[in-house]
């Protein structure tokens, strides 16, 4: 979801004003730091983190803290205090603080007064959302005093937050001339240049910003490192790119964007993600997953996924080379030699040209026959090909059309449906998900078909809760309605086959499970429970029916009955973390945190990448007085599932108990934003009250998890 202007502005303020605070702490005496701290604490003490993945420049963190208000607080409330305490020392501060010393030294009261008047008007207009007025006032302020670094920073970030990157570049260029050691200025200059496709300068300036110390804010640092990694890949500097991206993945957990970049580096593809042929995205994500194992230090575990990838993509350039290197590390020189030899066959004679043709969107084969066709005609041609079941032709046309219409959810969905028809399931999943995220349009049956195909692919990848969520909003006439219900039954039972692969002897069970899912979707609990009892009598060994029963009972506060169902599920599914999560959740709901510890610990051991497991264990530790252990587990949960409101609310409580009020306030603000977003989503999708904890996705669901947040 695109960041709003105030989010980007707050992110920018954190960088520059943290630079100011860092300068004070480094060079000023204790009296100055205390004065600055008092002033900052009188400002608004709120800063929020990003909603999820915060890895693209338009998805910056929501943040506004004491530090974020530091310069404004000093300018508006505390200039006399600070200058009286330490005017001589401030002359030694970092570039971000030099403006304060300049004000005292230049003696130009008129210029300063004019600048301040325009700057204050600009800030008021900015806060009120009046972009044109704010822009005019900032420009007037700089006209009265073009040496004011704060003015250039505010102008640049105003333009940045409104996506006017080309206009922001000169402002940041002026700023780095005035403050050449200010790393945040170089970082934002590089990010703007990246958006304007000035990649050579973006690489130069992001590199300089990192060399000068980067930025203090963790999320903006991730944004900068990610884009630096992409630019290094584009420049074919794969060793530096690998180092940068692996450092990023190790420090803050991975994300789909980082995984994709790691895949590009592993395969030595000197292209940006936007330049990749969509039909190669699944291969690159597979390579990225292998690279993540290497980052985790588990090189031996890469051999099996390498073999799977080579079986799927035997002619992919640099895949055999990467496999050979893994084999050599694992002490298998004979196999490594064979893979190096195969790579030599694939890559010669012109390796670079072959790589660009194989992976890129601008290859001659990809452009053939489409360069002179206008976009509207090309899309219509693709739809006609799809309707006539000419799927290869539809794919060729859609790939070209999507290069200039990348925000079309319908375009990506039709591409995914075409790939599904050709059994290219990996890419179909990627593109159907993208279409769902961007929004589908068309007739109700067409939209329902796209959701159904996406759901069965999610089931196939063991992402059962995600499949349920997609199917919950899918409504269609017969016969598609029956197929959707069958897919719901497969998700409830955690079956990862395709529907046609379910044996005839088990189809009645899946159909019954689908009926139960439909009843629960409609909150028809009495009918659903009666149907569950019937199914359990007929199929006593059916897995996850009792788990579903327990989760639904828990949602109705029937805790004793729910606990019995979870324990019964343990006997049927001893290797699943789900019944343990259910038991831990119940005990926390009943305020018996000590009893929640054991099942929560077991869930973490069974599913170490499950955010819900870490969340429940963190809650259990926190409520039994083990605050440090609780914070560690909750931080793990946040790294895995950064968009969970529950995790951030619990972290706020944990930091408050640990005597860290600034972090507590930060987490409370993040919770407020994420909770509002979650409420909007629940309003659109309705109550989804079963199958809440899914090991395959490792995320947090609000249902079945103890309600550790205000209502």
Task: Render pLDDT for 593-627 as a digit per residue (tens, 0 to 9).
Answer: 999 999 999 999 999 989 999 999 999 999 999 99
Q: How high is the pLDDT of residue 261? A: 93
> pLDDT grade, residue 548 (50/70/90)?
very high
Residue 367, pLDDT above cutoff 70: no
Q: How high is the pLDDT of residue 370? A: 39
Q: How high is the pLDDT of residue 1? A: 39
Q: Which of 109-118, 125-134, 254-263, 418-427 has the lowest mean pLDDT?
A: 109-118
State pLDDT tens for residues 160-184: 989 899 999 999 999 999 999 999 9
Neighbours of 121 (CB within 10 A): 17
> CA–CA separation, 401 vs 411, rounded Å?
8
Q: How high is the pLDDT of residue 92? A: 29
Question: How many Cα neighbours within 13 Å face the side chain of 280?
Answer: 26
Bridge partners (DSSP) of residue 276 are 360
DSSP element (H, E) containing 368: none
State pLDDT tens for residues 307-339: 999 999 998 889 998 999 888 888 888 898 998
- Average pLDDT estimate for 88-97: 34
Report the SS3 class of residue 346.
helix
Give the contacts of 687 (CB within 8 A, at least 6 positions apart): 523, 703
> pLDDT grade, residue 346 (50/70/90)?
confident
Q: How high is the pLDDT of residue 483? A: 94
Phi first, then psi: what are they for 271, rounded to 5°? Answer: -135, 155
Residue 434, pLDDT above cutoff 80: yes
Q: How high is the pLDDT of residue 109? A: 57
Is 336:327 a contact under the CB 8 Å cutoff? yes
Residue 190, pLDDT above cutoff 60: yes
> CA–CA separation, 225 vs 297, rounded Å?
21
Cα radius of gyration (the chain): 28
Token pair 């739809």 is found at: 383
**C-alpha separations of 107 from 101, 111, 386, 421, 687 in Å:** 11, 9, 72, 74, 64
- Average pLDDT estimate for 282-298: 89
- Domains of the chain plus CATH, in order, are 5-235 (1.25.40.10), 256-366 (1.25.40), 370-441 (1.25.40.10), 577-711 (1.25.40.10)
> pLDDT grade, residue 108 (50/70/90)?
low
- For the chain, the residue count is 711
The tokens for 249 are 């993945």
State pLDDT tens for residues 72-88: 332 332 332 332 233 23
DSSP characters for 671-698? HHHHHHHHHHHHHHH----S----TTTT
- Average pLDDT estimate for 431-436: 92
Residue 297, pLDDT above cutoff 90: no
Q: How high is the pLDDT of residue 8? A: 53
Is 336:324 a contact under the CB 8 Å cutoff? yes
Q: How high is the pLDDT of residue 299? A: 79
Report the SS3 class of residue 451.
helix
**pLDDT, averaged across the chain:** 79
Per DSSP, 3 falls in state P
Look at 581 and 342; give whichever has higher pLDDT: 581
- Average pLDDT estimate for 581-597: 95
Q: Evaluate the CA torsion angle 673, 677, 682, 683 in order and state its sign.
A: positive
> CA–CA separation, 371 vs 570, rounded Å?
59
- The percentage of the chain sitting over the pLDDT mark of 90, rounded to a whole number, equals 48
Give the contacts of 503 (CB within 8 A, at least 6 positions apart): none
> CA–CA separation, 598 vs 583, rounded Å?
10
Residue 95, pLDDT above cutoff 70: no
Q: Which of 485-494, 659-668, 698-707 has the lowest mean pLDDT?
A: 698-707
Give the contacts of 216 (CB within 8 A, at least 6 positions apart): 14, 15, 18, 19, 22
- Average pLDDT estimate for 424-446: 89
Residue 102, pLDDT above cutoff 60: no
- Average pLDDT estimate for 132-142: 91
Question: How many Cα neighbours within 13 Å face the side chain of 185?
Answer: 25
Q: How high is the pLDDT of residue 681? A: 58
Q: How high is the pLDDT of residue 111? A: 60
Residue 11, pLDDT above cutoff 90: no
Q: How high is the pLDDT of residue 609? A: 87
Residue 654, pLDDT above cutoff 60: yes
State pLDDT tens for residues 22-58: 333 332 333 322 333 332 332 222 222 222 222 233 3
Q: How high is the pLDDT of residue 551? A: 93
Q: Which of 9-23, 239-253, 260-274 has the lowest mean pLDDT?
A: 9-23
Q: How high is the pLDDT of residue 80? A: 29
Give the contacts of 394 (CB within 8 A, at least 6 positions apart): 382, 383, 385, 386, 414, 415, 418
């Amino acid at each position: 979801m695109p960041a709003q202007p105030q989010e980007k502005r707050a992110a920018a303020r954190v960088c520059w004003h943290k630079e100011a605070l860092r300068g004070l702490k480094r060079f000023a005496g204790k009296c100055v730091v205390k004065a600055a701290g008092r002033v900052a604490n009188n400002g608004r003490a709120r800063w929020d983190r990003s909603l999820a993945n915060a890895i693209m420049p338009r998805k910056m963190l929501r943040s506004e803290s004491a530090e974020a208000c530091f310069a404004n607080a000093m300018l508006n409330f505390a200039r006399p205090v600070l200058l009286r305490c330490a005017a001589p020392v401030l002359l030694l501060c970092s570039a971000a603080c030099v403006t304060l010393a300049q004000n005292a030294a230049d003696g130009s009261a008129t210029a300063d007064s004019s600048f301040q008047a325009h700057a204050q008007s600009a800030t008021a207009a900015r806060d009120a959302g009046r972009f044109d007025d704010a822009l005019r006032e900032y420009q007037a302020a700089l006209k009265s005093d073009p040496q004011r670094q704060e003015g250039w920073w505010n102008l640049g970030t105003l333009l940045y937050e409104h996506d006017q990157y080309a206009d922001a570049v000169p402002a940041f260029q002026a700023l780095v001339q005035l403050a050449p050691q200010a790393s945040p200025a170089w970082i934002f200059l590089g990010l703007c240049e990246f958006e304007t496709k000035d990649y050579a300068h973006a690489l130069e300036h992001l590199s300089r910003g990192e060399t000068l110390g980067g930025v203090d804010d963790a999320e903006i640092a991730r944004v900068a490192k990610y884009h630096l990694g992409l630019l290094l890949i584009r420049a074919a500097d794969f060793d530096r790119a690998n180092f940068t991206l692996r450092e990023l993945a190790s420090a803050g957990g991975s994300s789909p964007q980082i995984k994709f970049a790691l895949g590009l580096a592993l395969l030595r593809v000197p292209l940006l993600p936007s330049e990749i042929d969509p039909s190669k995205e699944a291969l690159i994500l597979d390579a990225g997953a292998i690279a993540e194992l290497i980052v985790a230090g588990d090189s031996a575990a890469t051999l099996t996924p390498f073999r799977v990838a080579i079986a799927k993509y035997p002619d992919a350039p640099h895949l055999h080379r990467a496999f050979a290197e893994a084999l050599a590390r694992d002490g298998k020189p004979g196999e490594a030699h064979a893979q190096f030899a195969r790579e030599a066959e694939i890559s010669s004679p012109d390796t670079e040209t072959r790589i660009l043709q194989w992976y890129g969107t601008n290859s001659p084969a990809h452009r053939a026959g489409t360069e002179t066709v206008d976009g509207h005609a090309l899309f219509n041609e693709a739809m006609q090909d799809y309707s006539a079941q000419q799927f290869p032709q539809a794919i060729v046309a859609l790939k070209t059309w999507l290069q200039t219409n990348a925000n079309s959810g319908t375009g990506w969905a039709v591409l995914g449906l075409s790939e599904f028809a050709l059994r290219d399931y990996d890419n179909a999943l990627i593109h159907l998900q993208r279409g769902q995220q961007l929004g589908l349009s068309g007739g109700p049956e067409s939209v329902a078909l796209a959701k159904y195909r996406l759901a069965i692919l999610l089931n196939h990848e063991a992402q059962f809760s995600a499949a349920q969520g997609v199917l919950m909003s899918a409504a269609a006439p017969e016969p598609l309605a029956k197929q959707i219900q069958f897919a719901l039954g497969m998700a409830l039972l955690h079956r990862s086959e395709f529907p046609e692969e379910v044996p005839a002897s088990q189809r009645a069970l899946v159909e019954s499970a689908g009926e139960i899912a439909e009843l629960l979707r409609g909150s028809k609990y009495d009918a659903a429970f009666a149907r569950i009892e019937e199914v359990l009598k007929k199929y006593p060994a059916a897995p996850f029916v009792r788990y579903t029963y327990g989760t639904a009972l828990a949602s109705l506060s029937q805790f004793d009955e729910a606990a019995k169902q979870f324990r019964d599920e343990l006997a049927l599914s001893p290797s699943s973390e789900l019944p343990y999560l259910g038991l831990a959740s119940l005990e926390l709901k009943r305020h018996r945190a000590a009893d929640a510890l054991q099942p929560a610990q077991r869930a973490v051991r069974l599913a170490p990448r499950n955010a819900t497991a870490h969340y429940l264990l963190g809650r259990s530790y926190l409520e039994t007085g083990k605050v440090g252990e609780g914070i560690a587990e909750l931080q793990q949960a946040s790294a895995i599932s950064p968009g969970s409101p529950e995790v951030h609310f619990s972290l706020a409580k944990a930091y408050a108990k640990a005597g860290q009020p600034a972090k507590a306030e930060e987490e409370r603000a993040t919770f407020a934003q994420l909770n509002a977003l979650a409420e909007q989503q629940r309003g659109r999708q309705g109550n989804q009250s079963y199958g809440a904890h899914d090991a395959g996705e490792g995320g947090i669901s609000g249902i079945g998890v103890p309600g550790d947040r205000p209502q």
